[in-house]
Structure 1
Amino acid sequence: MSDALPFTLAAVALLGSPGPAIAALLAVGRAQGFRASLPFFIALQLGLALAAGLSTAGLVSVFTAIPAVERALMLIALAYLVWLAWKIGSAPLGGVEVSTASSLGQGFLLGIANPKAYLAFASLIASFAILPRGSVGDGAAKWAILVAVMIVVDLAWLAAGAALGGLKLSSRAERAMNLAMAAGILAAAALAFL
């Protein structure tokens, strides 16, 4: 029997829960509005789709089987997430302006280096069978569902961030929101590395 529906529901729960990418989508959406944030969103989705593909193909297991490579990847991901948290937490009031070129690179890097996403992908892929387990079709179906769920869930978070941008907040409330989003990124990163 196919686990497509339970897989999809679990993907919505895991991929829709707060983490580094969602905190970044909220921050970028709030600072730049929905339309101006689309380059960041698209680049993030491309990075996440590649990460989901690597996870589905089992290549992440190969990388993590070599301790030095695993440690290097973890340090790169951690350094990026700490930098991202700092950038959001220290953003000037009114938000950060990000050029389209840098938002493309930042979005892709966040997608491909997001430890929470890899943990979610690995857990989902190993826990469900949509088609006969181990078949190419099973992996392709899981990847397609993961990508579709990511797009829908992340669009919703981006829209929420853009809606927050329309709120008139006091300087103190805006600084608190920036710090809360930065803390969310650091907490998600810490949990992923434990």
Structure 2
Amino acid sequence: MAEQVFSHPELWRQLLALILASAVVMGSPGPATISVTAIGAAFGLRGSLRYASGIILGTVAVLLVVTTGITAMLSSVPKLTPLLAVASATYILYLAFKIATAPPLAARTGGAARPTFLGGFVLAVANPKAYVAIAAVFAGTSSTDELDAGLKLAVLASMIVAIHALWLLAGAAFARFLRKPLASRIINLTFAAILVLTTALAVIPLGGPTGQTGGSGPGIGGQFP
């Protein structure tokens, strides 16, 4: 495969297009990415690693579900998507509450509850918009002969790791400002509000016409996890 990559200019162009498309979709604010940033800000880098790992592995699981065609099977169950939306929104509201009420890092005891790996994993796999966005990116290059499924999977999985790691680091950068009670409260409340807003924007359109989810990449970019 390495020889194929380096000897085909067209493959390079297709890889670049795939990377750019996934960066736009996956890099845009959404429930999962904003939650990783908010958790990083509220609990610091070390305290957020388990949750971020859950988000990443959960999103990779969504990628595998989409590419193996399981999504088509799940779409035959009409009530499944609303149930996923409710489950995701409920957990995100709980997460937003934890972020908004998190004490300053300097005042936090070692026993303070931190978001778990399971919580991140559940949020990722219960977010219906993740399936829509990943399917859009994957299908966008499905008609090309140069890119095989294995290579696309590897590229998209790598992008999932990189994007969420960057969002986590961005959030953790705010942690140093959270040692002062007032700054901690303002930043935590801000991130909690943004998390609720992005979740509302991602979930509410589910009740609209299905054609609304079939637009271009940027149109659904803000609804990715």
Q: Distance in 2 between matches of 1:142 and 1:90?
A: 41
- The aligned residue for residue 80 of structure 2 is 69
The 3 A distance-change label for structure 1 pair 34 and 21 is: same
The list of structure 1 runs, each at least 4 consecutive aligned residues, that deviate by more than 6 angstroms after superposition, is: none
Deviates more, 1:157-166 or 1:89-98: 89-98
Which residue of structure 2 aligns with residue 138 of structure 1?
Answer: 148
Change (3 A) 1:126 1:86: same
Match of 1:91 in 2: 102
Match in the other structure for 2:37: 26
Equivalent residue letter for 2:67: T
Task: Tell me the CA shift for residue 164 of structure 1.
Answer: 0.9
Matches within 5 A, 1:24-63: 24-63=35-74
Give the aligned CA root-mean-square deviation in angstroms.
2.6
Whichever of the two has the greater Rg, that structure is: 2
Match of 1:159 in 2: 169
SS at match of 1:15: helix
Percentage identity across aligned positions?
32
How far is the alpha carbon of 1:170 from its aligned partner? Answer: 4.9
Cα distance in 2 between the residues matched to 1:184 and 1:139: 35
Q: Distance in 1 between matches of 2:39 and 2:113?
A: 8
* Partner amino acid, structure 2, of 1:150: I
Question: Normalized against structure 2, the TM-score is what?
Answer: 0.72
Q: How many Å separate the matches in 2 of 1:129 and 1:45?
A: 23
> Counterpart of 1:157 in structure 2: which amino acid?
W
Report the CA distance shift for 1:186/1:61 in structure 2 as closer, same or farther (over 3 A): farther
- The answer to whether the 8 Å contact 2:22/2:137 transfers is yes
> 2:84, 2:127 within 8 Å by CA — same for their partners in 1?
no
Is 1:180 matched up with 2:190?
yes
Structure 2 residue runs without a partner (length 5+): 1-9, 206-225
Q: CA deviation at 1:12?
A: 1.1
TM-score, normalised on structure 1? 0.83
Number of residue pairs aligned between Structure 1 and Structure 2? 189
Against the structure 1 CA distance between its residues 31 and 191, is the aligned structure 2 distance closer, same or farther, given a 3 Å change threshold? Answer: closer
Long gaps (5+) in structure 1: none
